[in-house]
Amino acid sequence: MAETLQACAETLSASRSTLRQLSDLAHHLGQEFALEDFRTGHWFNRLMSLYLRYYDTHELRSAPEARGSGAEATEAIIHRACIEAALSGTGSATVTTGVSVYAAQSGGLAWLLAVPISGLTIGGEMLLRTLLHLRMACDLASAFGLSFRPDNPSDLCNLHCLVFGVGPWEAPRALDRDFLHQMEGSEAEEMGRSLGSRLMSESLMRNALPFASLLTSSITSWRRTRQLGDTVLRYVRRRRALEDAFASLRRHGTEAVELLLEGAWFLFIADDWLDPEEATVLTWLLRDASTDSQRRLLERFEPQDSGWLERLRSVPPQTRKPLMQALLVVSASSAESSPKEKRVLARAARALGTRYEPWRLETLTRDFSTKGRGAGLGEHVHS
């Protein structure tokens, strides 16, 4: 009982802190937004850019970064956002239902008052919920020592589009090399406008029916927030793993880094399916690569790994163990390596002339499951 009360007190304290932050943001929003932005859907891009700058300027990353990337810490971030989003949805539905009932009973001119009040309430709830989502995403990234760049938020925009089925994710399709081409060429500005329009439509629909919206609005807000939180968590965990792996290989040259990114591709597609979060990570890493590297890698992202294995055989001796360890980290970052992924690792070990030791993979996988991150790359290599 005491633990429950303490948890509730912590949630309320965190919520009050959130409200203070959002109140501070309101002043900036009034200066940044125009009514035209809501008609065109451009409001999401503006809000995302504004919040990312605000998050960095006010150093909000320090608290989640201090708590770390463990399972309990990241679950607390997502759970808090779910509660706040559900309360926001319930509040909006309560107001719109009450206004509709009043207008129906009063009739006449009451509807002239009810429509703008409902519209402002729905729009305000949409902005609040989006801010809660953005804060949750930034907190999860901070827990892993990462950030979303205000000058290039394409990965954050992609994750939202994935959850809400917008842009490249609008219709189910095979996630393959051609899809990566499409994502790599997608503009965050255009995706953000489409997403803004989708969020506006969804907000109107969930509040369309009085009384029923009291239930549907809160449930939908919770489910969307949970879905986005889990998606962002998988993404930042994968991205952290790959960035750590790349950092360990950069001193071995560009070729070693490219071979690792190729290896990530073959590990990701080992089960004949490229997860959306994996596609987003690969796209992010490709955008940071040089034009020549992008071209070479996209050409080498093929269904069969024979060419990659042949290139591994020519890797210098001093690079082989670090590259193998980096591949283990990439595989373990999913928190569960499939039998097909393990076979890819075994083939890579043979090509590199090193041993594939399952216990190393199991240790790293356990670290990712409990801590959110694997042990230091050099730690297992030299043990």
* pLDDT(352) > 50: yes
Residues 267 and 202 both lie in one domain: no
- Say if residue 247 is in the same domain as residue 361: yes
Residues 146-200 pLDDT 10s? 999 888 888 898 899 888 888 666 555 555 566 665 555 556 677 788 888 888 8
- Of 191, 214, 235, which one is at a domain's C-terminal end? 235
Q: Judge if 216 and 245 occupy the same domain.
A: no
User: Rounded mean pLDDT of 220-233?
Assistant: 94
- 204 and 284 inside one domain: no
Q: What is the dihedral of CA 246, 143, 140, 1, to 10 degrees?
A: 150
Same-domain check for residues 225 and 281: no
Judge if 151 and 136 occupy the same domain: yes
Shared domain for 110 and 217, answered yes or no, is: yes
Position 383 pLDDT exceeds 50? no
Q: Tell me, what's the pLDDT at 40?
A: 77
- pLDDT bucket at 135, cuts 50 / 70 / 90: very high
Same domain, 166 and 281: no
Last residue of a domain, one of 174, 208, 235: 235
Predicted structure pTM score: 0.82
Give the C-alpha separation, 188 to 309, whole Å. 35
Q: Which domain holds residue 227?
A: 2-235
What's the pLDDT at 260?
93
Number of domains in the chain: 2
**Do 104 and 247 reside in the same domain of the chain?**
no
Domain end point (choices 235, 261, 285): 235
